[in-house]
Each structure stands twice: as structure tokens, then as C-alpha cells.
Amino acid sequence: MIYCGIDWAERTHDVALVDDSGQLLAKRHITDDAAGYKLLLDLLSEYGDTEDNPIPVAIETSRGLLVTVLRTGQRQVFAINPMAAARYRDRHAVSRKKSDPGDALVLANILRTDMHAHRPLPNDSDLARAVTVLARAQQDAVWNRQQVANQLRSLLREYYPAALEAFAKWDNGLCRPEARELLRLAPTPRQAARLTRPQITAALKRAGRKRSIEPEVERLREAFRTEWAHQPALVDDALGKQMLALLGQLEAASKAADDLAQAVEESFPQHPDAEIILSFPGLGVQLGARVLAELGDDRQRFADARGLKAYAGASPVTRASGKKSSITRRWVKNDRLNHAGYLWAFSAITASPGAKAHYRRRRDVHGDWHAAAQRHLFNRMLGQLYHCLKNRRLFDEQQAFPNQLAAAA
């Protein structure tokens, strides 16, 4: 049996091959281009790599063209966490020396000794991987939009509180197109106080508003003319220019989030698992796509539902030493799936009577705090999702929460 380790870098990679006894068979330094990839595949073929019996590869990343080339066929590619690789490195050298060829050798030896303790990259379909790219990009765009909106809000508090007061009534506040259009029209409080009714009306219509325009115009005009403390005129103008720069970033982030959301809505329903995922209460297209993106469609990825729950950070972890024992939530988890699970459980409480009864029982009977009860609900529904995906069945409220529904009735 031959094992391969690759120390990944931006432009070049170091490759090491070892056998069952740990003997170094070959090492190469390849470039990150087509010629380097061909040299790597030729090296693997030279040492017995075939389509039916490929050589397993350990590397410290799960993305990139090199990983895509390695994943062709039936080859198992193991993405080793860099922190785990650093712990293995200390097993071979107490001097704590480090080199790229040495790291490639360490990665190869990880597979030689502990391949059973590491999971290969899932064999997801191309459509599932495409949904993963779009869902993660859309999630990043939403987070980036909120970060820029928070920066804009902090700036407005310094010189333009009337704008915050005017937009506080709207959901998503500064992220709404009406708010962005009004801020572009009047970047300073002095300019906002001079806005006329026709100007505000035209701004709301340009932003796409069609209903309740006249009451909003009166409310906004009154909010902009409310007496507030002001910065000096020159400082006010400078802060207005800074605000317009941030507003441009917010416009770009909002457009990126909307475009990616549209792309997710087009691609996610095409997946065979979409119907099952959308049958669960609290999961819509965007949130369901995020769940599919982190779970994938390789049914062999998780041995059972417990492994999936631990991966998502929904199940607790026990730490015991001697007479001391504690049960706490997991810190090492898939953060994206855990975040999607928080939103999922929050929505399911109002969308499902069984989920709401389960949440209330955790709060009232077991004394859980809100976050703990919500995490327990996510843990329960994640196990149900695993069962439904494995058996190709839609969500059934009566089977999912029989005891809770009976108690509620």
C-alpha cells in the first residue's frame, strides 16, 4: 500500500510517497499549473496508481484545481486540518523543526497510521457542489452586507441621527432601497431638513415603493426636520462624503446578495433532495440550500445521525476526568451549518406545532435557556432530516412529534 502526502502552497507543492513501513519512496516539488499536475499524476502512476486501485492522498485543503484533479475517478482525498497536522509533526521531531517536504511526509504518514480516523472528501454530485458554491457565496454576501450596514449605522450616529430615526420603522433599515435612495439624495442632516415633499416622493418611487407613499412622505419629512444636535458645517460635509463612500459599498453588497439569492433559487430546486428538504417546517429555498450545501448528497458521508449532529454542533460534548464531568455545547463544528440550524430552529418554532411543543417542553420541564432549547430542537430535526434523506421520505408532522402533539392537544 502506497500513501501520498501533499504540502499545498499558492504557487508550488511538495509531494511525498511512503509505503506501509514508512519508507520514503519518492518526493517531488511541483508547480501549480497543468504541467505540475501532469507530473504528479505520472508520479502516482509510476508507483502503482490505477483507476481501480488509486493511491490515497492527504492534503491540507479541500478546494482548488489541484484537489479537483486529484478527485477524478475513485481516489480518496483526505483534507487534513492544519492544526491536526501540526500535532502529528511533533510526533516525529521534538526540535519542532518544519519544512515543506517534511510536512508532505507527515501528511503521508498520517494516512499510513491513522487513515481510519479521518474522513475522505465526500463524493458529492456536480449539482450539489454548484449549490454549495452559490449558497456559501450568498451567505457571505449577506454577512458582508450586514457588516457594511453596521459601519454605516455607526457613522450616522455621529452626525445624522435623524436618518436612523426615520428608517427605524422599516425592516432591514439601512439595507432597504428606500433608505439608500434618501441617503444618496441628502447625505447630511442639513440637506435632509430642506427636502420637499415632491423630492421625497420621487425618491421613494425610484426605490420601487408603490404603496402608502403619502403617509411615509409626511413621516419622513417630520423626522428629518426634528431638532437634533449638529456637527460644524465643514465636518458635516466631510462626514457626508464618507457616508456616501460607505453607501456605495452597501449598494454593491446588496446587489451581490440579491443576484446570488436569485442564482440559488434557480439551481437549488433542480436537486433531487430539494423536495425533501423543503418539506421541513422552517426551511425555505435560501436556508434549505445552505443546509444542502453543508450536508452534500453523498449518503455515505456520515455513518449515522449522531455523526451528522456532532458535525453540525447540535449534539453536546462530554468532558470527563477523574471525578469531574461536564456536558457542554460543541465549539469545533461546521459554523455555517450551525448558523443555518439556529435560523432553522427559530423559524420551526412558529411553523410547526410539534416543534413549538418540543421547545416549550425543554423550557418549562427541563429548565433550558432559550439557546439550549433551540439547539436541542435543531438536534432533533437534524436527525429527522437524516432519516428522511436516507429513506427518501418527506417530513411528516405526526411521525416527527407524536408525543408533543398529543400533549399539546
Which among 266, 283, 299 is the end of a domain?
266
Q: Are residues 262 and 292 in the same domain?
A: no
For the entire predicted model, the pTM comes to 0.86
- At 400, the pLDDT band (50, 70, 90 cuts) reads confident
- At 318, the pLDDT band (50, 70, 90 cuts) reads confident
Q: Are residues 146 and 77 in the same domain?
A: no
User: Residue 66 belongs to a domain with what CATH number?
Assistant: 3.30.420.40
Q: Are residues 161 and 243 in the same domain?
A: yes
3-state class of 325 per DSSP?
strand
pLDDT value at position 345?
A: 94
Whether 386 is in a domain gets the answer yes
pLDDT value at position 406?
A: 64
Whether 124 is in a domain gets the answer no
What is the rounded CA–CA span in Å between residue 161 and residue 182? 14
Q: Are residues 134 and 249 in the same domain?
A: yes
Report H helices in 54-123: 65-70, 82-92, 100-114
Instruction: Give 217-237 pLDDT, tens digit per residue.
Output: 999 999 999 888 889 999 999
Whether 125 is in a domain gets the answer no
Domain membership of residue 143 as a residue range:
130-266
- At 269, the pLDDT band (50, 70, 90 cuts) reads very high
Of the candidates 281, 277, 260, the one whose C-alpha atom is nearest the C-alpha of residue 269 is 277
Q: Are residues 105 and 181 in the same domain?
A: no
Please work out, in degrees rounded to the nearest 5, the angle formed at the alpha carbon of residue 266 by the alpha carbons of 265 and 271: 95
Which among 231, 266, 301 is the end of a domain?
266
Whether 363 is in a domain gets the answer yes
Q: Are residues 261 and 161 in the same domain?
A: yes
What is the rounded CA–CA span in Å between residue 313 and residue 187? 44
Question: Which one has a higher pLDDT value, 144 or 209?
Answer: 144
Whether 365 is in a domain gets the answer yes
The answer to whether residue 408 scores a pLDDT higher than 90 is: no
The answer to whether residue 350 scores a pLDDT higher than 80 is: yes
Of the candidates 292, 318, 321, the one whose C-alpha atom is nearest the C-alpha of residue 386 is 292
Q: Residue 382 in contact with residue 309, Cβ under 8 Å?
A: yes
Per-residue pLDDT, averaged over 357-372, amounts to 91
Whether 261 is in a domain gets the answer yes
pLDDT value at position 97?
A: 76
Q: Are residues 255 and 348 in the same domain?
A: no
Instruction: Give 146-164 pLDDT, tens digit per residue.
Output: 999 999 999 999 999 999 9
Q: Which residues contact 107 (CB under 8 A, 6 or more apart)?
A: 5, 6, 7, 16, 58, 59, 60, 80, 85
pLDDT value at position 404?
A: 65
Instruction: Give 167-194 pLDDT, tens digit per residue.
Output: 988 888 888 999 999 999 999 999 999 9
Which among 266, 284, 305 is the end of a domain?
266
Q: Are residues 87 and 205 in the same domain?
A: no
Whether 123 is in a domain gets the answer no
Per-residue pLDDT, averaged over 108-137, amounts to 92
| Distance set, CA 405 to CA 70, 238, 348, 398, 400 (Å) | 50, 60, 14, 7, 9
- At 48, the pLDDT band (50, 70, 90 cuts) reads confident
Whether 328 is in a domain gets the answer yes
Burial class for 187, CB neighbours closer than 10 Å (0-12, 13-18, 19+): buried
Q: Are residues 261 and 279 in the same domain?
A: no
Instruction: Give 74-122 pLDDT, tens digit per residue.
Output: 899 999 988 888 888 877 767 777 888 888 999 999 999 989 888 899 9
Q: Are residues 110 and 142 in the same domain?
A: no
Q: How many domains does the chain have?
A: 3
Per-residue pLDDT, averaged over 37-65, amounts to 91
What's the first-to-final CA gap in the chain, in angstroms? Answer: 61
DSSP state of 120: B
Q: Are residues 260 and 279 in the same domain?
A: no
Q: What is the longest distance spanned by two Cα atoms in the chain?
A: 83
- Average confidence score pLDDT of the chain: 90
Q: Are residues 353 and 243 in the same domain?
A: no
Burial class for 122, CB neighbours closer than 10 Å (0-12, 13-18, 19+): middle
The answer to whether residue 405 scores a pLDDT higher than 70 is: no
pLDDT value at position 327?
A: 80
% of residues, the chain, pLDDT over 90: 66
What is the rounded CA–CA span in Å between residue 309 and residue 291? 13
Per-residue pLDDT, averaged over 142-148, amounts to 94
pLDDT value at position 330?
A: 82
Q: Which residues contact 21 (CB under 8 A, 6 or more apart)?
A: none
- At 387, the pLDDT band (50, 70, 90 cuts) reads very high
pLDDT value at position 407?
A: 65
